[in-house]
């Protein structure tokens, strides 16, 4: 069936709520209104107010109740409207959600999913357009997922809801209305498994979220110049599927990381350190990072577009390795 990225996420929640009565959804405006982006639309009508609830505008409380209800036996799939607002709930996520399985022993589980809209949104401004994945990468105990397609979003969200570990599920706002064919029948995608979106032999490009689509476009341009690009979508940032990534690097010996996070302290910084520490002899050049500029994302759309990587910047970065 042909669905949008947003519809795939909605379908994943609906299917998991039908399957397991312990799955609950709550967040700001998720009930009658169906969420700011409409991703929870229809859930209240089908599952009722005991399982789909609006919350006050208090991200710290939303996350805290999420942790408590998960430990108490439910499987909450909660929504923090914009990923920037995860920082309001940073203590509950960083200290409680991520650490309590370790602090309290093996009998404890924290089957919590925190969904949040991430990335640029063509004029939403610096406080509503952030990519904060790298800030939470420093927190052992969290699973971090960043799907780039409707197919991946549905399969990974279903797996995340069934996981006994806390999951941050980042959804790219510019992908919400992108349509794709997905199977009619139920399917799951295992957490922690990367996907090779395009096979190639000359250079490996690891792309995150929205940057997967742009990297694939860049790969087609580079093909015309005789450069064969392999594009890998990690899908899960933590834990990273090193096996898939390292197999590709050992084949191409060149690596570019493309992300929408700003460059300093971003995902590419950690990946570059990891690759050069563990695969130094396999590299024919430095790990090249393509990322957003180190500025708060501008409200002006022209400057916003200039701040995040585009196809031209990705092409230029790849060519620099040759």
Structure tokens at 51: 């399982």
Q: What's the CA gap between 157 and 182, in Å, rounded?
A: 14
Own/partner contacts of 70-74, CB < 8 Å, gap of 24 or more, are 70/109, 70/110, 70/111, 70/112, 70/166, 71/100, 71/108, 71/109, 71/110, 73/22, 74/22, 74/23, 74/24, 74/111
Question: Could you say which DSSP state residue 173 is in?
Answer: G
Per the CB < 8 A criterion, the answer to whether 255 and 283 are in contact is yes
The beta strands (E) that lie in 143-254 are given as 143-145, 167-172, 179-181, 195-198, 203-207, 229-233, 236-238
Active-site entry in 104, 128, 138, 253: 128
Nearest to 271 by CA among 254, 287, 253: 287
Q: What's the CA gap between 231 and 200, in Å, rounded?
A: 8
65-95: buried (b, 16+ CB within 10 Å) or exposed (e) per residue? bbbebbbeebbbbbbbbbbbbbbbbbebbbe
Q: What's the CA gap between 104 and 99, in Å, rounded?
A: 9
138 among known catalytic residues = no
Nearest to 43 by CA among 23, 68, 66, 60: 23
- Tell me the β-bridge partners of 114: 78, 168
- Catalytic machinery residues: 128
């Amino acid at each position: 069936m042909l669905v949008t990225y947003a519809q795939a996420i909605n379908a994943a929640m609906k299917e998991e709520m039908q399957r397991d009565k312990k799955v609950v959804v709550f967040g700001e405006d998720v009930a009658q209104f169906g969420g700011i982006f409409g991703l929870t639309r229809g859930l209240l009508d089908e599952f009722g107010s005991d399982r789909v609830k609006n919350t006050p505008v208090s991200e710290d409380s939303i996350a805290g109740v999420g942790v408590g209800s998960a430990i108490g036996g439910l499987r909450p799939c909660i929504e923090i409207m914009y990923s920037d607002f995860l920082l309001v709930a940073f203590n509950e996520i960083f200290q409680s959600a991520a650490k309590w399985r370790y602090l309290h022993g093996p009998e404890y589980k924290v089957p919590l999913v925190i969904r949040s809209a991430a990335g640029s949104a063509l004029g939403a401004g610096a406080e509503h357009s952030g990519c904060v994945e790298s800030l939470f990468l420093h927190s052992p105990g969290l699973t971090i997922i960043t799907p780039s397609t409707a197919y991946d979003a549905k399969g990974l969200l279903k797996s995340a809801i069934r996981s006994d570990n806390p999951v941050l599920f980042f959804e790219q706002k510019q992908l919400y209305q992108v349509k794709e064919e997905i199977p009619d029948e139920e399917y799951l995608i295992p957490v922690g498994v990367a996907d090779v979106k395009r096979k190639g032999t000359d250079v490996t490009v690891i792309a995150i979220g929205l940057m997967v689509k742009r990297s694939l476009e860049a790969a087609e341009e580079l093909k015309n110049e005789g450069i064969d690009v392999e594009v890998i979508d990690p899908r899960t940032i933590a834990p990273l599927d090193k096996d898939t990534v390292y197999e590709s690097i050992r084949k191409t010996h060149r690596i570019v990381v493309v992300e929408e996070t700003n460059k300093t302290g971003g995902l590419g910084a950690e990946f570059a350190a990891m690759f050069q520490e563990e695969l130094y002899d396999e590299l024919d050049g430095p790990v090249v990072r393509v990322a957003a500029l180190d500025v708060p994302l501008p409200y002006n759309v022209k400057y916003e577009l200039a701040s995040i990587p585009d196809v031209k910047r990705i092409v230029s970065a790849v060519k620099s390795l040759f």
